[in-house]
Each structure stands twice: as C-alpha cells, then as structure tokens.
Amino acid sequence: MDGLAITGALLVLVFVTLSMGIKTVPQGYKHIVQRLGKYHSTLNPGLNFIIPYIDNVAYKLTTKDIVLDIPSQEVITEDNAVIIANAVAYINIVSPEKAVYGVEDYNIAIQNLVQTALRSIIGEMALDSALSSRDQIKAKLKAAISDDISDWGITLKTVEIQDINPSTTMQRAMEEQAAAERLRRAAVTKAEGEKQAAILEAEGRLEASRRDAQAEVVLAKASSAAIEVVSEAVKGDELPVMYLLGEKYTQALQELASSNNAKTVVLPADLPQALRGMLNK
C-alpha cells in the first residue's frame, strides 16, 4: 500500500515537472527566462521547453505596438507665454531583454523623456509658432527621444501632439488682444473712410469752383461780344443804349420787388424824367 502511494506521488511529481518544463508563448508576446536568477533566453511565440526548477519565466512582454498617453503639462514658451500640451507615443519592443534589464520601468521612463523633450522644444519657440507648428514639434520630438529609447531595445514608431493650447489666462489675454486689434482696424477703416470722403468733398468743391470760374469767363466773353455788337449797331446814337439800359434797370427792379425778402423798393428820383425823355424821343 505504501509502495502504491509512493508511485502515485512520483507520477504526480513527474507530471508537474513536465508541465513546468513546457511553456507555450502566445502570438504577439515574448517571455524572458532566467536561470538561477540570471537572464538565460527569450522564448518566442509557440511551444518552448525549459529546465524545471532551474529556469523560470520572469517577464512576459508584448511585441505589439504600445500606446503611451503622455499626461498634459504646462510649458513656457520663449516669449514667456504659458501653454498646456500633451502627446501620445507609439512604441514597439524589439529587444525584450533590454527593455526589462536596461531600465526600471520603460513606460514611466518614456513618459518622462517625452515630457522633458517637449518642454525643451516648445521653450525655444514663440507662442504663435508653437501653436501653429505641430508637425515641426513632432519631428523634433521624435528625433530627440528615438536614440535614447533605442538603448532600451524599444523603437519609437511615431509621436503625436494631441493638444497644444494656451492656458486659461493666456486665452483671456489673447481674446482681449484680438478684440483690441478688431477695434483698431475698425477705427483705421473709419478714419480712412472719413479721409476719402473729405478728399472727395474737397475735389467736388474744387471742380465746382473751376466750373464757376469757367462760366464767369464765358459770361464775360459773351458780355464783351454783346457790347461790341451793340456799339457797332448804335454807331454814336445814345437812344438805343439808353433804351436797353432802362429796360434792364426796370427788369431788375421788378425782380427785386417780387422777392419774398423785399420789404421796400426804392425808385430813383429821375426815373420818370428818364422815361419821359425816352417817350418824347
């Protein structure tokens, strides 16, 4: 009976030992094997065998791309503006043994590395440039950390800038600046309009004055021609001249009397005599 128990115990021990020596690694993962506490080998996907009780699987790492979310942080630009930026990094572990033995925690190490590099890059840029140059920041960030993480057996596939926005205080300042700029442009536009209106009005007055002067010249020439015609017609006879003058004078008095502003019409004392002389002639 005791022999049967011992045999059963041995069979169980053999089964457990065999199960400990057989390791199945799923696709997309690699296992790190330590022998007596020291790195021994890396198990690839599939069926693998190790020495029971001597070898053990110490780490299990994925070979798929890993997405690291880089927390938001405040960054000061070259012109002392505060912006909030965060990023996301896509990495791939190509050498699992370097990733586990080269750094304590590669996730935290890469996050801190990206944050530090991001602060350095944006710190050399002005606010407007930082807000509008995501591709440039991305390229510099990738170049800055690729060499460092390659020592840990990790490849940086890409890094993207998720958000890069001014802080709340900076947003208020930018809004006030934009409002002031709009008011300034409106004032300039209004002043320019008033200037153009004044110029057009002055040009209108100048053109009107020029045309009035031309009209005066034309009237003067017409009067001169009329006088010459009259002088040629009368040939020393004063009666036609006196008649024309009297007619013009009478017409002027009529217009003056019909005016709404006229209150008193003053007739010359010798008007009847002049008329009688004209009639007697």
Query: Using CA atoms in the order 170, 172, 175, 181, what is the torsion angle rounded to 10 degrees?
Result: -80
Are the CB atoms for 54 and 61 separated by under 8 Å?
no
CA 118 → CA 75, 160, 233, distances in Å? 8, 11, 105
Are the CB atoms for 44 and 21 separated by under 8 Å?
no
Tokens coding 65 = 């791309």
* Lowest mean per-residue pLDDT among 50-54, 200-204, 214-218: 214-218
DSSP-derived letter for residue 266 is: P
Return all residues near 26 (Cβ < 8 A) that are at least 6 apart: 45
Candidates 155, 158, 35, 146; CA nearest to 95 is: 155
Residue 9 has pLDDT above 70, yes or no: yes
CB atoms within 10 A of CB 115: 18
Percentage, residues of the chain above pLDDT 90: 33
Return all residues near 124 (Cβ < 8 A) that are at least 6 apart: 78
Rounded Cα gap, residues 271 and 265, in angstroms: 13
Are the CB atoms for 99 and 139 separated by under 8 Å?
no
pLDDT digits (tens, 9 = 90+) for 18-56: 888 888 999 999 999 999 889 999 999 999 999 988 999
* Lowest mean per-residue pLDDT among 132-141, 152-161, 210-219: 210-219
CB atoms within 10 A of CB 274: 14
Residue 150 has pLDDT above 50, yes or no: yes
Percentage, residues of the chain above pLDDT 70: 77
Between residues 276 and 126, the one the model is more confident about: 126
Between residues 204 and 100, the one the model is more confident about: 100
pLDDT digits (tens, 9 = 90+) for 169-183: 766 766 677 777 777
Candidates 39, 22, 91; CA nearest to 63 is: 91
Give the HSE-up count for residue 79: Cα atoms under 13 Å, Cβ half-sphere.
Answer: 9
Are the CB atoms for 59 and 93 separated by under 8 Å?
no
Between helix 238-258 and helix 271-280 the angle, nearest 10°, is 140
Going by their DSSP bridges, the two strands 38-43 and 29-35 should be labelled as antiparallel
Residue 245 has pLDDT above 80, yes or no: no
Give the global pTM.
0.58
Residue 149 has pLDDT above 70, yes or no: yes
Between residues 241 and 70, the one the model is more confident about: 70
pLDDT for residue 17 = 84
* Lowest mean per-residue pLDDT among 44-58, 118-132, 198-212: 198-212
DSSP-derived letter for residue 45 is: S
Average pLDDT over residues 126-145: 88
pLDDT for residue 191 = 85
Confidence of residue 128 (pLDDT cuts 50, 70, 90): confident
SS3 content of the chain, % helix, strand, coil (to 5): 60, 25, 20
pLDDT for residue 96 = 93
Confidence of residue 106 (pLDDT cuts 50, 70, 90): very high
Tokens coding 211 = 């045309």
pLDDT for residue 279 = 47
Winning range, highest mean pLDDT, from 143-147, 177-181, 220-224, 238-242: 143-147
Tokens coding 200 = 């057009």
Average pLDDT over residues 108-136: 90
The residues pairing with 163 across neighbouring beta strands, listed in sequence order, are 86
Q: What are phi and psi of 162, to 5 degrees?
A: -75, -60
